[in-house]
C-alpha cells in the first residue's frame, strides 16, 4: 500500500481533531499503521485548525504537519477563500495525482489559477455538501466531520466502514477522552442531542454512508468560454 | 477503579512480562505511566501543550489512584509545592512546558540543590516573542545547567517508558536529584500512535524516604535547614565552604546516575549504523524526522547512520567522542534557533569543524525530512 498522507484543513469547532482521531483509530483496527496529530493555535472557534493522518502498512516515523499530502480534505470554504490555513499558497505540497475533497454546496471557491495547477498535477477534485448531509441525516451540523470522512471513504475506501463504526463507538462511548477543554464541552452538547449511544453511532454511520454516496468528482479541464470554472457547465 | 497491586520489584513494572498495545496520544501515555508509578501527590498548572497531561493525571486522582492532587496558583507555586512534597518524603509528579518552564525556573536549580528526586515532564514549546504555542526545544538549552537529569523522549512510547523509569533513576540513594523528562509539544503530546503499556493493576514499589541521602522532614538537617536558616545569613565564609562541597556533590550525583541510565534506559544513546560515513546526531522529534531522512538518503546511496540521545544530562561525552572518531561529518538537526545540541557536541569532539549545526527550524513549524536530506547531500562532496 502506498503511504497515505492526509491533511484536513478547516475551522475550530468543525471536528477535524475528532475526524482524524476516528480515521486513525479505524486504520489501526484494519491492521494498518497510523499516526494522527492535530495542529491549532490558541483554541477558538472559526480559527484555522488542521489535523494530519498518516496511514501505511510500514512503520511511520515522520511527525508534525503533513507538508506533502496526497489527500487534502477542506472542511470549510473559508480555508481557501479567506486563507484560513497553515499553508500558503494552499495547494503547494500536494503530491501528483493527489485527491482533494471540499465541503461545499455549489461554488467551490477555488480560483482558476489553482484549478490549472491541480490539473497539471493530475489531481482529482471532489466535493460533498458535508454540512447539508449532516443536517439532513443526523439533524446536526456537528456531524459535518462524519460526512467528510464518509466522502473520503467514498473516494478512497482507505478504511472499512466496520472499523469506522468501532472507532466511533470507542470515541463517543468508550474510555473518557480529552483533546481539550472545549472538545469535552462539545461532547456534552453532542451527548445531549442523542438519547442513546447506539443511536449516536448509527446516525454517524448513516451520515458517513450517505456522504460516501453523495460525493461528486469535478473535472479539472479548462472550461469553455463562459462556462462554470468548476463543472464546465454553460450559462 | 482497578484494584492495584504493589510490584515486588520496580522491574516488574518497568519491564512487564506482557504489554498491551493501545492507540493513544503522548498526554495519554503520561497518564498511563503515572497510573503505574504509585505517586502520593501530583500538582498541576495548565499550559499548552502540557495541559492535557496533568488534566488526565487529575482524572487519576478523581478515580482514586492518587491520594492528593491540586491546581497550584502558578508554575512557580507548583514547582515550590512539589519541592515541599518531596521534602516531606513522598513521590510527587508534575509537568509544564515553554513559558511555564521559564516562569518556574528559579525552583529547578533549587530542586537539585535540595537533592529532591522530583520527576517533572517538560513539553517543549516556543518561549520567544512573537508568541508561539507550538513546539520548539529552546527551553532545554536554558535547563542544561540546572543540575537535573534530562531525558528526551522521541515519541509517546519513550514518554511512557522514560517517565516511569525516571522515578527509578531519581530515587537511587547515590543520585537523588530531579529528573526532567522532555518531549516535544504537539509532535508527541498531541500525536496519537501505538504505545505498548504494562498491566494497569501493577504499580511501582513505594518511594522509601529512609533511603534518601538527606533526611526528609528534618528541620535541623539539609535540605530544610538550607532553606529556613541559610548559611549566608550567618557567615559568608561558612556559605562559601558549604557551596564548595555541596555543589560538587550535586554534580557528582548526576555523574553517578550514568550507571542507572544504563540499567533502566539501556544507555544514554541509541545508535543505528554507527560506522557510517555521515552520522546524524539528534534528540526528540528531530530523531523521528531523521529516520525518515535516512531512508530517503540510503535510497540515493548516501552512507548515513543515526545517534539518538536519550539522556542529555549527564551528557554522553565519552560515547559521543567514541562515535565521532570515524565519522566524516556529523549533522545535527534541531528544533530551536540556537542549536544547543550542536554546541554540546562541538564542545566534546575532536575537529569540530565536522559538526554541521543544521537544519534548524523554530517557532513551531515541522522539520521536513527533505531538509535533513539536503543537508546530508551537502556533506557528500566533501566526504567522497
Compute CA distances B347 → A67, B318, B340, B343, B351, whole Å: 34, 12, 11, 6, 10
Average pLDDT of B131-151? 96
B308 and B176 in one domain? no
Which of residues A178 and A119 earns the better pLDDT score?
A: A119
Q: Do B191 and A37 touch (CB under 8 A)?
A: yes
Q: Which of A37, A86, A174 to mutate to test the interface with B (most CBs of B within 10 A)?
A: A37
Provide the β-strand partners of residue A6. A53, A71
**Which residue of B193, B285, B366 is in closest CB contact with A67?**
B366
Which of residues A205 and A232 earns the better pLDDT score?
A: A205
What is the pLDDT at residue A195?
59
Q: Which of helix, strand or coil describes residue B236?
A: helix
Q: Which tens digits make up the pLDDT trace of B109-140?
A: 999 999 999 999 999 999 978 888 999 999 99
B215 in Cβ contact with B221 (< 8 Å): yes
Q: Which tens digits make up the pLDDT trace of B54-79?
A: 999 999 999 999 999 999 999 999 99
Q: Does domain A4-216 have CATH number 3.40.920.10?
A: yes
Kindly report the average pLDDT of chain B as a whole number: 95
Instruction: Tell me the torsion sign for CA atoms B153, A27, A50, A191.
Output: negative
Of B162, B184, B210, the residue at which a domain comes to its end is B210
pLDDT at A176 over 60: no
Least CA distance to A184: which residue of chain B? Answer: B52
Q: Which tens digits make up the pLDDT trace of B6-45?
A: 999 999 999 999 999 999 999 999 999 999 999 999 999 9
Q: Which of A55, A64, A181 to mutate to test the interface with B (most CBs of B within 10 A)?
A: A64
In-domain check, residue B223: no
- Chain A nearest-CA distance from B200, in A, is 14
Q: How many domains does chain B have?
A: 2
B68 and B146 in one domain? yes
Q: Which tens digits make up the pLDDT trace of B181-231?
A: 999 999 999 999 999 999 999 999 999 999 999 888 788 887 888 888 888
First-to-last CA distance in chain B? 61
In-domain check, residue B375: yes
Of B183, B210, B237, the residue at which a domain comes to its end is B210
Q: Do A61 and B193 touch (CB under 8 A)?
A: no
Q: Assign residue B302 the CATH number of its domain.
A: 3.40.50.920
In-domain check, residue B245: no
Which residues from chain B sit within 8 angstroms of residue A62, using beta carbons?
288-289, 292, 369
B201 and B79 in one domain? yes
Q: Residue A101: name the closest of A235, A233, A225, A212 by CA.
A: A212
What is the pLDDT at residue B384?
47
Residue owning grid cell 455549489 = A106
B126 in Cβ contact with B133 (< 8 Å): yes
**Which residue of B133, B190, B291 is in closest CB contact with A61?**
B291
Residue owning grid cell 505498548 = B196
Q: How confident is the model at residue B286 (pLDDT cuts 50, 70, 90)?
A: very high
Strand duo B329-331 + B179-184: pairing: unpaired
In-domain check, residue B244: no
In-domain check, residue B101: yes
B278 in Cβ contact with B383 (< 8 Å): yes
Q: Do B288 and A34 touch (CB under 8 A)?
A: no
Average pLDDT of A38-51? 84
Q: A interface toward B at CB cutoff 8 Å?
A: 21, 24-25, 28, 33-39, 41-42, 61-65, 67-68, 176, 178-181
Which residues from chain B sit within 8 angstroms of residue A65, using beta carbons?
365-366
- Chain A nearest-CA distance from B172, in A, is 34
What is the pTM assigned to this prediction? Answer: 0.93
Which residues from chain B sit within 8 angstroms of residue A64, using beta carbons?
135, 186-187, 285, 289, 365-367
B175 and B280 in one domain? no
Kindly report the average pLDDT of chain A as a whole number: 87
DSSP for B75-128?
HHHHHHHHHHHHHTT--EEEEE-THHHHHTTTHHHHHHHTT---EEEEEE---S
Q: Which tens digits make up the pLDDT trace of A178-212?
A: 555 566 666 776 666 555 677 889 999 999 999 99
What is the span of the domain harbouring residue B294? 270-383
B290 and B203 in one domain? no
B95 and B12 in one domain? yes
B190 and B99 in one domain? yes
> Residues near B120 by Cβ (< 8 Å), separated by ≥ 6?
B79, B82, B93, B94, B95, B96, B178, B179, B180, B181
**Which residue of A38, A61, A180 is in closest CB contact with B292?**
A61
B205 and B275 in one domain? no
In-domain check, residue B344: yes
In-domain check, residue B98: yes
B178 and B36 in one domain? yes
Query: What DSSP element (H or E) covers B350?
Result: none
Sequence ranges of the domains in chain A: 4-216
Q: Which of helix, strand or coil describes residue B274?
A: coil
Q: Which tens digits make up the pLDDT trace of B223-277?
A: 888 888 888 888 899 999 989 999 999 999 999 999 999 999 999 999 999 999 9
In-domain check, residue B303: yes
Q: Assign residue B126 the CATH number of its domain.
A: 3.40.50.970
Average pLDDT of B370-382? 90
Q: Do A35 and B193 touch (CB under 8 A)?
A: yes
Q: Which tens digits make up the pLDDT trace of A210-230?
A: 999 999 999 887 655 555 555
pLDDT at B306 over 80: yes
Amino acid at each position: 500500500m502506498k503511504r497515505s498522507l492526509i491533511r484536513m484543513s478547516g475551522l475550530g469547532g468543525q471536528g477535524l481533531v475528532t475526524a482524524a482521531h476516528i480515521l486513525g483509530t479505524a486504520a489501526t483496527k484494519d491492521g494498518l499503521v497510523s499516526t494522527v496529530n492535530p495542529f491549532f493555535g490558541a483554541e477558538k472557534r472559526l480559527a484555522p485548525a488542521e489535523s494530519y493522518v498518516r496511514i501505511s502498512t510500514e512503520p511511520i516515523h515522520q511527525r508534525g504537519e503533513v507538508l506533502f499530502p496526497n489527500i487534502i480534505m477542506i472542511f470549510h470554504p473559508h480555508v481557501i477563500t479567506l486563507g484560513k490555513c497553515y499553508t500558503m499558497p494552499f495547494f503547494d505540497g500536494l503530491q501528483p495525482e493527489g485527491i482533494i475533497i471540499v465541503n461545499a454546496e455549489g461554488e467551490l471557491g477555488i480560483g482558476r489559477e489553482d484549478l490549472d495547477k491541480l490539473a497539471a498535477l493530475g489531481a482529482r477534485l471532489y466535493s460533498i455538501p458535508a454540512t447539508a448531509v449532516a443536517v439532513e441525516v443526523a439533524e446536526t451540523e456537528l456531524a459535518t466531520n462524519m460526512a467528510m470522512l464518509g466522502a473520503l471513504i467514498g473516494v478512497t475506501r482507505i478504511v472499512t466502514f466496520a472499523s469506522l463504526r468501532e472507532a466511533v463507538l470507542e470515541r463517543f462511548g468508550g474510555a473518557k477522552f480529552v483533546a481539550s477543554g472545549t472538545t469535552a464541552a462539545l461532547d456534552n452538547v453532542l451527548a445531549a442531542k442523542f438519547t442513546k449511544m447506539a443511536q449516536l453511532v448509527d446516525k454517524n454511520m448513516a451520515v458517513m454512508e450517505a456522504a460516501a454516496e453523495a460525493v461528486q468528482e469535478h473535472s479539472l479541464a479548462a472550461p469553455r468560454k463562459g462556462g462554470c470554472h468548476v463543472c464546465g457547465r454553460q450559462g | 477503579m482497578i484494584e492495584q497491586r504493589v510490584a515486588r520489584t520496580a522491574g516488574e513494572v518497568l519491564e512487564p512480562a506482557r504489554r498491551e498495545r493501545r492507540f493513544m496520544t503522548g498526554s495519554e501515555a503520561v497518564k498511563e505511566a503515572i497510573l503505574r508509578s504509585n505517586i502520593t501527590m501530583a500538582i498541576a498548572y495548565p499550559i499548552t501543550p502540557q495541559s492535557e497531561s496533568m488534566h488526565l493525571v487529575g482524572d487519576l486522582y478523581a478515580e482514586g489512584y492518587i491520594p492528593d492532587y491540586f491546581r497550584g496558583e502558578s508554575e512557580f507555586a507548583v514547582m515550590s509545592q512539589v519541592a515541599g512534597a518531596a521534602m516531606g518524603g513522598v513521590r510527587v509528579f508534575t509537568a509544564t512546558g515553554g513559558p511555564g518552564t521559564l516562569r518556574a525556573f528559579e525552583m529547578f536549580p533549587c530542586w537539585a540543590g535540595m537533592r529532591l528526586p522530583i520527576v517533572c515532564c517538560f513539553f517543549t514549546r516556543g518561549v520567544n516573542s512573537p508568541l508561539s504555542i507550538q513546539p520548539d526545544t529552546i527551553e532545554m538549552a536554558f535547563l542544561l545547567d540546572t543540575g537535573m537529569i534530562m531525558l528526551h523522549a522521541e515519541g509517546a512510547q519513550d514518554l511512557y517508558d522514560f517517565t516511569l523509569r525516571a522515578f527509578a533513576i531519581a530515587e537511587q540513594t547515590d543520585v537523588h536529584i530531579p529528573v526532567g523528562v522532555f518531549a516535544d509539544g504537539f509532535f508527541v503530546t498531541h500525536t496519537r500512535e501505538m504505545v505498548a503499556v504494562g498491566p494497569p493493576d501493577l504499580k511501582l514499589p513505594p518511594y522509601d524516604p529512609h533511603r534518601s541521602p538527606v533526611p526528609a522532614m528534618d528541620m535541623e538537617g539539609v535540605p530544610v535547614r538550607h532553606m529556613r536558616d541559610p548559611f549566608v545569613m550567618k557567615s559568608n565564609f561558612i556559605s562559601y565552604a558549604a557551596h564548595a562541597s555541596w555543589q560538587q556533590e550535586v554534580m557528582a550525583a548526576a555523574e553517578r546516575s550514568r550507571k542507572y541510565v544504563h540499567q533502566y534506559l539501556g544507555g544514554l544513546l541509541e545508535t543505528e549504523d554507527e560506522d557510517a560515513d555521515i552520522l546524524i546526531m539528534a534528540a526528540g522529534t528531530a530523531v523521528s524526522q531523521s529516520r525518515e531522512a535516512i531512508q530517503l538518503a540510503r535510497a540515493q546511496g548516501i552512507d548515513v547512520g543515526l545517534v539518538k540521545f536519550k539522556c542529555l544530562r549527564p551528557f554522553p561525552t565519552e560515547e559521543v567522542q567514541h562515535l565521532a572518531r570515524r565519522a566524516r561529518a556529523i549533522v545535527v538537526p534541531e528544533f530551536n534557533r540556537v542549536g544547543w545540541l550542536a554546541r554540546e557536541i562541538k564542545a566534546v569532539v575532536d575537529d569540530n569543524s565536522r559538526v554541521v549545526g543544521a537544519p534548524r527550524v523554530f517557532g513551531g513549524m515541522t522539520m521536513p525530512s527533505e531538509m535533513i536530506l539536503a543537508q546530508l547531500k551537502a556533506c557528500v562532496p566533501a566526504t567522497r
